[in-house]
Each structure stands twice: as structure tokens, then as C-alpha cells.
């Protein structure tokens, strides 16, 4: 089996990212910084040879993908399978607001209880992991030997990193998930390989917001 190589991009900075608000399946558009980041992602990846191009169907991911589409003439295939984790009643709130309004739920959220889902249609960490690992395994089988570009979200990248490295779901995150970062992984016949993570060398600033 030939390896399938992925570059997985987190969307650019949004207004809610800058405010520390939880987005989940809700959306806020890219802010000025995020639009600039998306253009730089387009410049970096516009000349790369990709055989397939996928994107979350949420607006902030589609906005980030558009400069690549403009440069390559190829529109991404949008899918709900690449959406951010649904976070129910937390969506639209800051961490401090969540802690005040839902203290028990917030404690379990930060404890990374794998089976816990927030009220109001939330998705558990385990549910997210199964969705993300499933879609990336499917894409690897569908595009054997190809290079695949994916534009998605922080929660998806968290689950993908754990799938590739076999990191336990309940273990606190010790790796970055920057806005507009490039993250390279590949699927070989005998498993996954982490090539390079958290690349923001294409951005004009030395830092980008990490996920929380």
C-alpha cells in the first residue's frame, strides 16, 4: 500500500477565537487577522500538488480554504464529517461564562471525560474521536498514494493527533493547535506517521492563537 499524505490546516483566526468564545457548530467569520492568515495559507499551498481537497462545511473553514481554491482552481469538497466538536450549551460562551453557568459540566469538560457530552446536543470526546478517525481512515483508503489537503478545526486536529500517535483521549493536550497552522501526517500500510506538526512558518507574525 502506497502512503497517503495529508496536510491538515486549522482555520484562520475568528472574532470568537480572539474573544475566547467557544464556537463548536456555531460560526463566527474570520477577523482581519484570520483573513490575512488565510491568504498566506493560499500562498503557501497554492503551488503544492494535491490530488484531493476537503473542507469542513462550517463558514470559517470554507473562508480559510477559499484562497487555496482561488490559486488552484479547485473547490474543496465540504463535509460535516470534518466539523468542529459540537459543544451544546457551551457554544457562544467564554470559558469564564461556562464555568459560572455550568460549573459541573465545565469541570468534566476540562477533565477530558471521554464519554461526557454537553447538554444541548453536545458531542463527547470519544464520539469526536470516532468520527475523525473514521473519516481520515476512509480518505486514506479512497486516495491511496495521493496527497490530500484538509481544512478543518482545532478539535478535529486534537482527535487526529491522538489517532496518529495513539495518545489517550483523557490525557491533557501537550501539543499546539494554532490558527492557520499546517500539520502533516501520512497513512502507511502498517499505520500512521506524524511528519510535522504546528507549522506556522508561512505566517508573517511569530505566533498564532492556540486552541483552548
Residue numbers annotated as active site: 11, 84
What is the residue-wise DSSP string for the chain?
-PPEEEEEEEPPPBHHHHHTB--TTS---B-HHHHHHHHHHHHHHTTS--SEEEEESSHHHHHHHHHHHHHHS---EEEGGGPPPP-GGGTT-BHHHHHHH-HHHHHHHHTT-TT---TTT---HHHHHHHHHHHHHHHHHHTTT-EEEEEE-HHHHHHHHHHHHT--TTSPP-S--BTT-EEEEEEETTEEEEEEEEE-TTSSSS--PBP-
Each residue of 90-103: b (16+ CB within 10 Å) or e? bbebeeeebeeebe
- 113: cell is 471525560
Nearest 5°: CA angle at 146, between 141 and 147?
Answer: 115
Amino acid at each position: 500500500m502506497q502512503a497517503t499524505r495529508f496536510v491538515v490546516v486549522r482555520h484562520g483566526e475568528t472574532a470568537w477565537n480572539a474573544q475566547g468564545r467557544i464556537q463548536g457548530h456555531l460560526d463566527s467569520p474570520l477577523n482581519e487577522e484570520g483573513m490575512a492568515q488565510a491568504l498566506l495559507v493560499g500562498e503557501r499551498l497554492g503551488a503544492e500538488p494535491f490530488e484531493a481537497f476537503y473542507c469542513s462545511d462550517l463558514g470559517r473553514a470554507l473562508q480559510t480554504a477559499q484562497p487555496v481554491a482561488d490559486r488552484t482552481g479547485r473547490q474543496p469538497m465540504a463535509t460535516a464529517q470534518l466539523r468542529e466538536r459540537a459543544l451544546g450549551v457551551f457554544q457562544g460562551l467564554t470559558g469564564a461564562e461556562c464555568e459560572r453557568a455550568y460549573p459541573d459540566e465545565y469541570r468534566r469538560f476540562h477533565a477530558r471525560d471521554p464519554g461526557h457530552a454537553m447538554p444541548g446536543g453536545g458531542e463527547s470526546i470519544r464520539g469526536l474521536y470516532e468520527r475523525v478517525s473514521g473519516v481520515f481512515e476512509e480518505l486514506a483508503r479512497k486516495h491511496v498514494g495521493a496527497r490530500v489537503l484538509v481544512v478543518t478545526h482545532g478539535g478535529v486536529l486534537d482527535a487526529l493527533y491522538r489517532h496518529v500517535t495513539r495518545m489517550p483521549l483523557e490525557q491533557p493536550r501537550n501539543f499546539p493547535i494554532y490558527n492557520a497552522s499546517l500539520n502533516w501526517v501520512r497513512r502507511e500500510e502498517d499505520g500512521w506517521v506524524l511528519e510535522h506538526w504546528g507549522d506556522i512558518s508561512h505566517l508573517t507574525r511569530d505566533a498564532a492563537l492556540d486552541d483552548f
